[in-house]
């Protein structure tokens, strides 16, 4: 092989950034992987001119609901084709939607169902987090370990919603099984009884409009549940990731747990950084577009959450893309006058996540470019067991790369998802991905889709990375201190 044919593709002249460093280098790619980082790489193969651009790891969207029935049995607008395409246009080359177990279904059936949905359609690499709603003996002893063995190494539980919630004992069982296998438990933490109690009173008094959704999910409901979830995880010294944290109180609980060495991670979402509950009060029924759980809060909350993004409380800023159209197929599936309890819960954002975070974070000086890379890809890769194949630009890594024009200004409009609205419509956003690669293949380039459904591959994930998180065993579960009793793995 001649020296000039050494690479299939060279990305030339750009500024490369990882979670720790920023440097000028060409990127040499062969067989889908990065094989050289140096200035002046020559090739007889293809060249992408990235001069004046940023060359970043492709984003990893680690929280999105794609072709997944909601608790109400409602299918969101995006399947694995449209969802992955929208993700790609937003600078992502990998995503991890949820595979939701419906009660009565086994874990194996759930995984097989999502394989059949994702494999023929995804244009980017993918895995799933397994939502566990029915932790039977079979699930705990056999099926969760089997899912883990095939590379699904994160399990999510709900503390609210009748169709999904588990009790504290079941939560402990799942935490203990996950811990025993190196898996990570994720949690939607809100106090179910508080939400039910307030909702009932609001509805009885005739308060049905979208704005009451925020009233019915008080900050205290989140804080209480996060405190409980962290306590349960600490009891068995198991890793825990609190998804979509929306309150300063919740963020502080995550921060304090992390400072004490507990194996706790936190995630927040763009909607809590860029929107407020005032959006629920838009005229007519438009507020329905902004119903999501936990709900939008206020400006002071936005500021506080930004502080936690900056200081590292949050390892992830994920979209929580839960796309329900503003019509009877989605938001108003229960009718045009549906109460806040019946309106479909969730909003889109998979394509806006990274441009918003770049524009408001990096370009406005709130976070560094390297923090952006960590939040967009590297932390997700580490936490969810995909590093260093994914989430960084390094020799040997998959050539999952997003080339960004840091100065491109666009007014947010229609996205590439299957939605009929964009909650960030009209936002001026500076900095957009212009070319996105997945394993060295262009998937988006100059506004065009270059990939085909089915090009994405399932990513076999490894155990959660707990580097720097010593944890601590509760004395009562330590055989040296509890008279030799063996209680948990
Ligand atoms: N939780 C999510 O994570 N997404 C959509 C709705 C919800 O309650
Ligand atoms: Zn949730
Ligand atoms: Zn979600």
Question: pLDDT of 418-465, one tens digit each?
Answer: 999 999 999 999 999 999 999 999 999 999 999 999 999 999 999 999
Please state the atom number of ligand 1 nearest to the C-alpha of residue 244.
Answer: 3
Q: How far is the CA of 317 from the centre of ligand 2 (A)?
A: 14
- Beta carbons within 8 Å of 7's beta carbon, 6+ residues apart: 28, 29, 30, 35, 36, 41, 43, 45
What's residue 2's pLDDT? 47
Residue that the structure tokens 């008279």 belong to: 483
Backbone CA torsion sign across 440, 441, 443, 445: positive
Nearest CA to ligand 1 atom 8: 293
Give the distance (Å) from ligand 3 centre to CA of residue 129. 11
Give the pLDDT of residue 10.
98
Q: Which fold has domain 58-380?
A: TIM Barrel (3.20.20)
Ligand 2 centre distance from Cα of residue 20 (Å):
31
Nearest ligand 1 atom to alpha carbon 63: 3
Task: Tell me the H-state helices in 48-139.
Answer: 80-89, 107-118, 137-138
State residue 38's pLDDT score: 97
Ligand 3 centroid to Cα of residue 399, in Å, is 28
Nearest CA, atom 5, ligand 1: 346
Residues with CB under 6 A from ligand 1: 65, 188, 243-244, 293, 320, 322, 345-346
Residue closest via CA to ligand 1's atom 7 equals: 293
Å from CA of 188 to ligand 2 middle = 4
pLDDT along the chain (489 residues), means of 10: 73 98 98 98 95 99 97 95 99 98 93 98 98 95 96 98 96 97 98 98 98 98 98 96 99 97 97 98 96 98 98 98 98 97 98 98 98 98 98 98 98 98 98 98 97 98 94 89 87
d(CA 250, CA 71): 24
* Shortest-distance atom of ligand 1 to CA 346: 5
For atom 1 of ligand 1, the residue with the nearest CA is 293
Long-range pairs for 367-370: beta carbons < 8 A, 24 or more residues apart: 367/309, 367/310, 369/17, 369/22, 369/54, 370/17, 370/18, 370/19, 370/20, 370/21, 370/22
Kindly identify the ligand whose nearest atom is closest to the C-alpha of 217. Answer: 1
Residue 487's pLDDT is: 86
* CB under 5 Å of ion ligand 2: residues: 188
* Percent of the chain predicted with pLDDT > 70: 99
- Of all atoms in ligand 1, which is nearest to the CA of residue 292? 6
HSE, side-chain direction, 13 A CA sphere, residue 446: 3
pLDDT of residue 5: 57
Distance CA 147, CA 142 (A): 9
Please write the tens of the pLDDT for every residue from 164-197: 999 999 999 999 999 999 999 999 999 999 999 9
Pick from 61, 64, 65, 294 the residue to mutate for probing ligand 1's pocket: most ligand atoms within 8 Å of its CB.
65
pLDDT of residue 72: 84
* Centre of ligand 1 from the C-alpha of residue 161, in Å: 10
Q: What is the pLDDT of residue 71?
A: 86
CA atoms of 191 and 266, how far apart (whole Å): 18
């Amino acid at each position: 092989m001649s020296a000039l044919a050494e690479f299939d593709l060279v990305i030339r002249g750009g500024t490369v950034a990882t979670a720790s460093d920023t440097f000028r280098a060409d990127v040499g790619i062969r067989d889908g992987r990065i094989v050289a980082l140096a200035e002046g790489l020559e090739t007889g193969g293809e060249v992408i001119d990235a001069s004046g651009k940023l060359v970043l790891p492709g984003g990893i969207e680690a929280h999105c609901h794609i072709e997944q029935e909601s608790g109400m049995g409602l299918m969101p607008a995006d399947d694995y084709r449209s969802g992955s395409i929208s993700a790609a246009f937003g600078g992502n080359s990998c995503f991890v939607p949820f595979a939701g177990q419906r009660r009565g279904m086994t874990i194996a059936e759930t995984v097989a169902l999502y394989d059949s949905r994702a494999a023929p359609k995804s244009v980017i690499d993918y895995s799933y987090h397994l939502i566990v709603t029915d932790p039977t003996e079979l699930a705990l002893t056999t099926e969760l370990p089997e899912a883990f063995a095939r590379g699904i190494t994160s399990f999510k539980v709900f503390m609210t919603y009748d169709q999904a919630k588990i009790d504290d004992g079941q939560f402990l069982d799942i935490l203990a099984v996950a811990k025993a296998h190196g898996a990570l438990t994720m949690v939607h933490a809100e106090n179910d009884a508080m939400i039910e109690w307030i909702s009932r009173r609001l509805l009885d008094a005739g308060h049905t409009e979208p704005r009451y959704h925020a009233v019915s999910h008080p900050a205290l409901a989140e804080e209480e549940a996060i405190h409980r979830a962290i306590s349960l995880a600490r009891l068995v010294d198991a890793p825990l990731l609190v998804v979509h944290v929306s309150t300063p109180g919740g963020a502080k609980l995550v921060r304090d747990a992390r400072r004490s060495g507990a194996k706790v991670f936190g995630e927040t979402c763009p909607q809590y950084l860029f929107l407020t509950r005032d959006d629920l009060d838009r005229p007519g029924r438009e507020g329905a577009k902004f119903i999501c759980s936990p709900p939008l809060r206020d400006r002071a909350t936005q500021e506080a959450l930004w502080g936690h993004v900056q200081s590292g409380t949050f390892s992830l800023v994920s979209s929580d893309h839960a796309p329900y159209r503003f019509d009877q197929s989605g938001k108003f599936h229960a009718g045009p006058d549906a109460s806040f309890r019946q309106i479909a819960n969730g909003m889109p954002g998979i394509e806006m996540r990274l441009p918003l975070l770049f524009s408001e974070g990096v370009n406005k000086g709130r976070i560094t470019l390297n923090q952006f890379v960590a939040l967009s890809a590297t932390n997700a890769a580490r936490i969810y067991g995909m590093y260093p194949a994914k989430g960084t630009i390094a020799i040997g890594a998959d050539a999952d790369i997003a080339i960004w024009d840091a100065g491109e200004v666009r007014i947010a409009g229609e996205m590439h998802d299957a939605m009929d609205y964009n909650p960030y419509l009209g936002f001026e956003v500076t900095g957009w991905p212009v070319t996105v690669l997945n394993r060295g293949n262009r998937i988006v380039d100059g506004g065009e889709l270059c990939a085909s459904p089915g090009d994405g591959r399932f990513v076999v994930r490894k155990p959660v990375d707990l580097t720097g998180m010593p944890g601590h065993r509760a004395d009562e579960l330590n055989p040296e201190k509890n008279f030799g009793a063996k209680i948990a793995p």
